[in-house]
Amino acid sequence: MKTFNILCTSALVLILMITGCGLVSGTKFISQHLDDSIVSSEGMPAAMHRGNGPLDDNVGSAKVDLTDNSDYGNIDVNGIEAGCVSTLATNCNPHAPISGEVWVTQDTVAHTDWTADSVRANCFRVFHGMFLDSGATHQFTCEETLGLIENLDQFSDVVNVGYFRAWGIGDQDVYCIRLENIYVGMYLTGSLQ
């Protein structure tokens, strides 16, 4: 009888391994630091930012590469349950509040000629509502931004590839925003390896 139980157990384990059912499914939190800061401005004349001349209209971005992240490498991504961003954000415009937004594209090229309208036409928004008073600096935490993520299905497709480009813009016609020390966090669902 003992031999029969061992044979049955061995056969069950072998069947699970062959069919892939032996993988554990679950949710895992992945955190990735971005090497670059994002600085974007649009329509900021010198009188508004107390500088020597007008700021160039500039939309900044940073490449996100998850392929070297060991936590990311240990999961076959099926989806994203939630996401957050942690960043030191500055509204460089001393005259008007803004709400910072993060947009994403699978294209990792840093299009230096893009405007905010180009970003809106070629990317999809994943974070919005990072409110900053005029001239303010604020350290946004993951806890604060957890409810600000959107377009999870599209974001999941991009994350599944392992790399993407994130763009930072403001929600006003005239703005200047700086995002520094950026961390992106995601609760990924899938098969854990």
Note whether residue 13 is domain-resident. Answer: no
Note whether residue 76 is domain-resident. Answer: yes
Per-block mean pLDDT, blocks of 10 residues, the chain (193 long): 46 44 74 90 59 58 92 86 93 89 90 87 93 95 92 92 91 86 92 79
CATH code of the domain covering residue 52 = 2.60.120
Note whether residue 15 is domain-resident. Answer: no
Q: How far is Cα 189 from Cα 36, in angstroms, rounded to an integer?
A: 27
Number of domains into which the chain is organized: 1
Which domain range does residue 35 map to?
A: 24-192
Q: How far is Cα 159 from Cα 178, in angstroms, rounded to an integer?
A: 24
Note whether residue 8 is domain-resident. Answer: no
- What is the greatest pairwise CA distance in the chain? 89
Note whether residue 48 is domain-resident. Answer: yes
